């Protein structure tokens, strides 16, 4: 169902080291009223480099700079932090549950009660009874946890600056406008949004308005299939899928389903009608929002070729957030959970080169000393936002809970949460695919 929506939003925000900028009609103003000419095209890279989310900017939730952490936490040495966190965790006992994404550092993830990928952590969050959930991940994950837990439970993100560079590339109002535009260009075809869980709660709510669903990289193929399945068989009855916000996940999944580049068209949110013609939309099955993960975009086809020359017997596996031109050079593609399973079940002595976040790859290398496991590329695949959850912030957060005044509580407003939950529940109900995607035939 199309939401009733007017024109493209008028408020646009940016940052120039002085504070937020607000666009009013054709002019930009800083918060203190000075004029600025900062164009829209600078907005996303600037926000991205700071790990900030535009929807949260609009809601004013990012007013607490990282430096607000009390100095005593910053001044503590690692050993003191480790023992203080362990003591607080023991003291809080079952009233506390710490969730950790696989991309967290070893220092932080050792304290998690559960670790997992986005899908598993969402499922676990929904099952928790602890009073306090501390999410060692990024902002969209904590939002999902808040939506999936009861009102009596609090969800804390130890550092509010832990956003997601990819989630920052789509804003709810712009997505709602985009859906209207695509539907108009598609000439009566039904558009179903499939929104990667790496997105704000507000976008998840828009997804539900349009009868769509969320997905993670572990179940995206099954969600795409469901989106195109007739309603009478429990599907969303879609003719076309609008994959938001990661173009690479959308394109790689289209290929995994036996489709090709000609079935895909990219929607550029900076351009009217996404820069697409009606003919292009009518010819395509997959409309791909022009977003990406900067961590997975650090990998190049040259990285794969170079490592093949060095380790000719290695299996090269990449996350589907990597660009298609990288994935086609690899042997396999798989989500975080699929990568872990593939390596876990591989024989001793096997060699692996992995294209995903460095913390996970280095941890796998330490965990499986009987296998050779290397990070693809030049070591740049680090998620800066995940790294903002560090020991000082974790201790600060646990201390605040123990003091009865939790900091950095993530709260999604009731109306948004109710709608977003529909899209998240659909995601959780759809089974993960455990097998990796074979890109090159074995032995080729
Ligand atoms: P998954 O946890 O779904 O594999 O996604 C990877 C990622 O980039 C998390 O932000
Ligand atoms: Fe976002 Fe990429 Fe970091 Fe995942 S790895 S949290 S997609 S920026």
- Model pLDDT for residues 269-291, shown as the tens digit of each residue: 999 999 999 999 999 999 999 99
Instruction: Work out the pLDDT band at 64, boundaries 50, 70, 90.
Output: very low
Q: How many angstroms is it from 389 CA to the middle of ligand 2?
A: 13
Q: Please report the pLDDT score of residue 277 as a whole number.
A: 97
For residues 409 and 420, the answer to whether their CB atoms sit within 8 Å is no
Quote the CA–CA distance of 193 and 286 in Å, as a whole number.
10
Q: Please report the pLDDT score of residue 5 as a whole number.
A: 33
Average pLDDT, the chain: 87
For residues 211 and 1, the answer to whether their CB atoms sit within 8 Å is yes
Task: Summarize pLDDT for 315-345 with one digit per residue, the tens.
Answer: 999 999 999 999 999 999 999 999 999 999 9
301 vs 67: which has the higher pLDDT = 301
Is 70 exceeded by the pLDDT of residue 103? Answer: yes
Is 50 exceeded by the pLDDT of residue 7? Answer: no
Ligand nearest the Cα of residue 118 is 1
Ligand nearest the Cα of residue 292 is 2
Quote the CA–CA distance of 226 and 220 in Å, as a whole number.
10
DSSP-based three-state secondary structure for 368: coil
Ligand 1 near 144 CB (within 6 A): no
Is 80 exceeded by the pLDDT of residue 28? Answer: no
Instruction: Work out the pLDDT band at 63, boundaries 50, 70, 90.
Output: very low
Q: How many angstroms is it from 441 CA to the middle of ligand 1?
A: 26
Percent of the chain with pLDDT over 70: 84
**Arithmetic mean of pLDDT, 392-415:** 97
Q: Please report the pLDDT score of residue 328 as a whole number.
A: 97
Looking at the DSSP bridge assignments, the partners of residue 316 are 353
Q: How many angstroms is it from 54 CA to the middle of ligand 2?
A: 15
Range name among 54-58, 83-87, 410-414 with the lowest pLDDT average: 54-58
For residues 329 and 315, the answer to whether their CB atoms sit within 8 Å is no
**Arithmetic mean of pLDDT, 257-267:** 97
User: What is the model's pTM?
Assistant: 0.85
Is 80 exceeded by the pLDDT of residue 25? Answer: no
Quote the CA–CA distance of 175 and 63 in Å, as a whole number.
24
Instruction: Work out the pLDDT band at 201, boundaries 50, 70, 90.
Output: very high
Q: How many angstroms is it from 102 CA to the middle of ligand 1?
A: 8
Q: Please report the pLDDT score of residue 17 as a whole number.
A: 27
Q: Give the end-to-end CA distance of the chain in Å, rounded to a whole number.
A: 47
Q: Please report the pLDDT score of residue 431 as a whole number.
A: 84
Residue 186 contacts by C-beta under 8 Å, 6 or more apart in sequence? 239, 240, 278, 281, 282
Is 70 exceeded by the pLDDT of residue 4? Answer: no
């Amino acid at each position: 169902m199309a939401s009733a929506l007017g024109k493209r939003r008028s408020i646009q925000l940016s940052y120039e080291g002085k504070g937020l900028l607000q666009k009013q009609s054709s002019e930009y103003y800083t918060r203190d009223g000075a004029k600025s000419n900062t164009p829209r095209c600078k907005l996303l890279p600037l926000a991205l480099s700071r790990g900030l989310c535009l929807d949260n900017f609009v809601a004013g939730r990012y007013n607490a700079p990282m430096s607000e952490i009390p100095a005593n936490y910053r001044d503590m040495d690692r050993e003191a932090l480790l023992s203080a966190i362990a003591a607080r965790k023991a003291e809080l006992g079952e009233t506390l549950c710490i969730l950790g994404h696989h991309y967290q550092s070893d220092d932080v993830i050792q304290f998690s009660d559960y670790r997992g990928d986005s899908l598993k952590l969402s499922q676990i969050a929904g099952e928790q009874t602890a009073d306090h959930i501390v999410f060692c991940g990024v902002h969209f994950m904590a939002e999902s946890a808040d939506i999936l837990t009861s009102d009596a439970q609090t969800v804390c993100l130890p550092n509010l600056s832990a956003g997601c560079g990819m989630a920052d590339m789509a804003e709810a109002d712009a997505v709602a406008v985009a859906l209207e535009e695509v539907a108009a260009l598609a000439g009566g075809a039904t558009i179903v949004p499939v929104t990667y869980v790496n997105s704000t709660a507000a976008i998840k709510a828009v997804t539900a308005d349009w009868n769509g669903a969320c997905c993670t990289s572990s179940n995206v193929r099954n969600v795409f299939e469901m989106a195109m399945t007739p309603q009478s068989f429990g599907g969303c009855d879609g003719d076309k899928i609008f994959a938001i916000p990661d173009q690479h996940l959308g394109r790689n999944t289209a290929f995994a389903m036996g489709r090709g580049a000609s079935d895909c068209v990219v929607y550029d949110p900076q351009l009217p009608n996404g820069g697409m013609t009606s003919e292009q939309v009518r010819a395509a099955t997959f409309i791909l929002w022009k977003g990406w993960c900067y961590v997975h975009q650090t990998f190049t086809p040259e990285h794969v070729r170079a490592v093949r020359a060095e380790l000719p017997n290695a299996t090269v596996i990449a996350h589907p957030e990597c660009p298609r031109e990288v994935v086609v050079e690899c042997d396999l593609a798989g989500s975080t959970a699929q990568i872990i399973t593939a390596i876990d079940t591989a024989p001793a002595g096997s060699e692996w080169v992995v294209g995903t976040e460095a913390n996970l790859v280095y941890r796998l290398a330490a965990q499986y000393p009987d296998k050779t496991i290397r990070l693809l590329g030049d070591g740049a695949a680090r998620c800066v936002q995940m790294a903002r959850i560090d020991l000082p912030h974790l201790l600060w957060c646990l201390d605040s809970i123990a003091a009865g005044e939790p900091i950095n509580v993530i709260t999604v407003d009731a109306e948004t949460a109710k709608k977003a939950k529909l899209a998240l529940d659909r995601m959780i109900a759809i089974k993960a695919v455990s097998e990796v995607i074979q890109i090159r035939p074995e032995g080729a």
